[in-house]
């Protein structure tokens, strides 16, 4: 694949959205347009498959939305990509017919896996990790994680204050899928009664109640918050735990799922700064490496320095 004379780049956001995506999209499109023809794919991989690809000619809407959460170009979840399957080849063909050989993907670890598949079909792929889950092991932070954390801390602090008024306990469920980072980060500013993640949880409703009773028996002073990672317990388990605590201990248990408030969280200042640093690094890399056709991932180290790694994700 000879990329030196190819000036077409496509940007997509894929999978679950995260705060800060719009900032990246705007800055990338604005900066790259000076040296490249920039396209966007609507609704992630699904949009590439359905040929929802268009050139960016006017940046005014992107500029207006740059500090909003969400993604102005949309996102979606799509089939797992495989180089031998027709829907993967259709994505490649839709890009190739516009002479697009470079693809920038904003998304989580699942999107990175899809990008790695496409990189084996003569596409140069760059991954910018965007996820409230902070679910990349090779980077300290993903865009959106800090915004979700800050928003959760504000919401849980408010829940904590009202729970104390009524001698109640708040059970709060956070997103994170298989990664417990957001669950723990959301209560860093408090001393919660209990934090339950996929490493320390007990299965079923009985196990949940046992964990709560044990924490109540062992902990002295605490903030009346139980933080739980998503997908560990069912609604029925929560209802049963609420009934048991009321019946046996006369303690009101309030259940709160933060849900999509986390994805739509206000974009924090640090995420805006990181988005600027990452977009600058990507633009600079494309200008200085016009013929490099390998897959890259943009990472943030422990000192928040931006690095572009030439490597496979997994």
pLDDT recorded at residue 2: 60
**Whole-prediction pTM value?**
0.93
User: Over the range 233-246, which residues count as b (16 or more CB within 10 Å of their CB) and which as e?
Assistant: beeebbebbbebbe
In angstroms, rounded to a whole number, what is the distance separating the alpha carbons of residues 51 and 186? 39
Q: Is the per-residue pLDDT at 314 higher than 50?
A: no
- Rounded to an integer, the average pLDDT of 76-85 is 76
Domains of the chain: 8-144+267-310 (3.40.50.450), 146-261 (3.40.50.460)
> Catalytic site residue 133?
yes
What pLDDT, in 10s, does the model give residues 202-233?
889 999 999 999 999 999 899 999 999 999 99
Q: What percentage of the chain has pLDDT greater than the value 70?
A: 96
Give every strand in the sheet of 8-13, ordered side by side: 53-55, 37-41, 8-13, 102-107, 124-129, 296-300, 306-310
In angstroms, rounded to a whole number, what is the distance separating the alpha carbons of residues 306 and 222? 38
Cβ-proximal residues to 268 (8 Å cutoff; 6+ apart), any chain: 19, 146, 147, 150
What pLDDT, in 10s, does the model give residues 133-161?
998 888 999 999 999 999 999 999 999 99
Exposed/middle/buried for residue 115 (C-beta within 10 Å: 0-12, 13-18, 19+): buried
Q: Which two tokens stand for residue 136?
A: 């990349």
Q: Which of 133, 197, 223, 271 is catalytic?
A: 133
Taking the chain, what is the end-to-end CA distance rounded to the nearest angstrom? 23
Written as one string, the DSSP assignment of 38-99 is: EEEETTHHHHHHTT-EEE----HHHHHTTTSSS-TT-----PPP-TTSHHHHHHHHHHHTTT
pLDDT recorded at residue 162: 95
């Amino acid at each position: 694949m000879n990329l030196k004379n190819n000036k077409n780049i496509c940007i997509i956001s894929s999978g679950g959205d995260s705060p800060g995506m719009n900032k990246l999209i705007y800055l990338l499109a604005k900066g790259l347009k000076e040296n490249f023809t920039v396209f966007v794919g609507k609704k992630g991989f699904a949009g590439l498959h359905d040929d929802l690809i268009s050139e960016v000619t006017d940046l005014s809407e992107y500029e207006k939305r740059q500090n909003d959460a969400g993604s102005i170009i949309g996102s979606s979840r799509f089939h797992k990509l495989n180089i031998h399957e027709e829907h993967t080849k259709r994505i490649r063909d839709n890009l190739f017919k516009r002479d697009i050989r470079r693809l920038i993907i904003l998304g989580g670890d699942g999107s990175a896996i899809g990008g790695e598949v496409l990189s084996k079909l003569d596409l140069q792929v760059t991954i910018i990790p965007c996820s409230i889950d902070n679910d990349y092991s090779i980077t300290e932070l993903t865009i959106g994680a800090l915004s979700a954390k800050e928003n959760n801390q504000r919401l849980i602090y408010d829940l904590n204050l009202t729970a104390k008024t009524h001698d109640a306990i708040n059970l709060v469920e956070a997103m994170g899928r298989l990664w417990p980072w957001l669950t723990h980060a959301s209560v860093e500013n408090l001393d919660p009664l209990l934090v339950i993640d996929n490493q320390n949880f007990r299965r079923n409703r009985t196990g949940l109640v046992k964990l709560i009773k044990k924490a109540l028996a062992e902990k002295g002073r605490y903030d009346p918050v139980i933080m739980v990672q998503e997908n560990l317990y069912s609604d029925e388990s929560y209802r049963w735990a609420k009934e048991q605590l009321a019946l046996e201990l006369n303690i009101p248990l309030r259940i709160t799922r933060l849900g999509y408030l986390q994805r739509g969280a206000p974009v924090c200042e640090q995420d805006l700064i990181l988005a600027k640093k990452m977009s600058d690094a990507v633009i600079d890399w494309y200008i200085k490496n016009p013929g490099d056709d390998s897959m890259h991932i943009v990472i943030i180290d422990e000192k928040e320095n931006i690095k572009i790694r030439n490597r496979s994700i997994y």
